Every structure is written in structure tokens, then in C-alpha cells.
Structure 1
Amino acid sequence: MGLDPQAAKEARHALPGIPADADGPVFREPWEAQAFAMALALHGRGLFSWNEWADMLADEIKRAQAAGDSDSGETYYRHWLATLERLVAAKGVASVEMLDRYRDAWDHAADRTPHGSPIVLQPEDFAG
């Protein structure tokens, strides 16, 4: 999933806390870039405004801090992903149950996948 440079620029302007360097957003892991790109795509489709996103992200970060997150910056995209999941559920795109089901299936698929190989979901990953 590639990043739309204009959408990334708009997100950086609307959300100044995004980890970035002079060239744009920076990511420590591929999943962080994928979560970022998913949020850009859903925003681009009108699912939420950046103000709505910023409010929910701030709430997610506050909740994590209250639960002991040290807010060192290393967990920023974990909060981003949690916000994405909350918004998708709140907007009725996917239920919390469906998100949990897919998260569990990905965990199962990752457990059976050799390191360095692509993770591929299979029907048995949803069996529990």
C-alpha cells in the first residue's frame, strides 16, 4: 500500500505530532506505514475529518498514558492503530467483534508462518 504524497502532506499539516523528518512521515516498522496509509485512505473517502481523528487520537493517547504508557514516542503508531480501529467501529464500517476476529486470525497466521515469509490468512486461522 503506497502513500499518497499529497495526502501525507495534508495529514502532517493537520496533525503536527506525526513522527516525521524533512522528507515526510517516518516509520520504524512496515505495519506503521500501512496503518498510516489506511487512515489516509479512509480520510480521503470521507469517513472522518482530521479534527475528528485528532480528538480521538488524543483521547487514545491519554487513555494509554493513564494505563502506564511512558509516551516515549515508540508507541505512537500503536495509538494510531487503536484510533483507526475505534473510528472504524464507531462509524459502523466493522464491528469490534469483527476486528477482534481478524486480529486473532492474524495472530494465528503469524504463529504458523516462518520468520521472513509473508503472512497469509487461511480459513483455518478463523477457527480460533
Structure 2
Amino acid sequence: MTLRLHELGVFTWAEWAECLGQTIREAQAAGELEYRDSYYYHWLAALERISANKGLVTDRSLGQRQNEWDIAARNTPHGQPIEIKR
């Protein structure tokens, strides 16, 4: 998704790199431990941040989608694709 949004001109790669770097610095300053998968979570947080900053999503719509995902994930049998039903 990040690459596609960049290709569509939503943000420059320099903007993305700054946003990701800032997200990682904030996590480190908050004392978050480094785990093998933490880079993924920083990437996701940066994507959410830059998407909100560019007006692609609102905090409310992002929260709604996260809630819908959590519900769908809890109700999906292991090994099956997760589908958000609206």
C-alpha cells in the first residue's frame, strides 16, 4: 500500500522516509523494546500517520476499520482469509 500511494503521488519518498524515521524515533524515545517484528509495526504506524496527515483517512474512520478488523479476525477460523463485512 505504501509503495502504491507513493506511485500515485500521494507523498514523496522523502516525506515517507521522514515520517517512518520520526515514528521509529518516537517509539525509541518512549522506551519501546526492539523486537524482530517491531519494524512492521513502526511501518504500519507511519502509514496510518501519513495517510491521516494527507487527508486520506480520519482518526475516526481508522479506528472504525481497526475495530471491524479485530471483530472479523476473532470470528474467522484459523487458516481462513479474514473478511470485513459491511
What does the per-residue CA deviation read over 1:96-124, in whole Å, with 9 as the maximum and x for residues that have no partner?
A: 1101100110000001111111111123x
CA-atom RMSD in angstroms: 1.2
Q: Distance in 1 between matches of 2:23 and 2:38?
A: 11
Q: Helix, strand or coil for the counterpart of 2:32?
A: coil
Structure 1 stretches lacking a partner, 5+ long: 1-37, 124-128
The TM-score with structure 1 as length reference comes to: 0.63
Q: Distance in 1 between matches of 2:41 and 2:57?
A: 19
Partner of 2:44: 81
Displacement of 1:73 in angstroms is: 4.5
Displacement of 1:74 in angstroms is: 2.5
Structure 2 stretches lacking a partner, 5+ long: none
Number of aligned positions between the proteins: 86
The TM-score with structure 2 as length reference comes to: 0.92
Q: Distance in 2 between matches of 1:90 and 1:64?
A: 19
Partner of 1:107: 70
Amino acid at match of 2:76: T
Q: List structure 1 segments (4+ residues) > 6 angstroms apart after TM superposition.
A: none
Q: Report percent identity of matched pairs.
A: 47
Partner of 1:59: 22
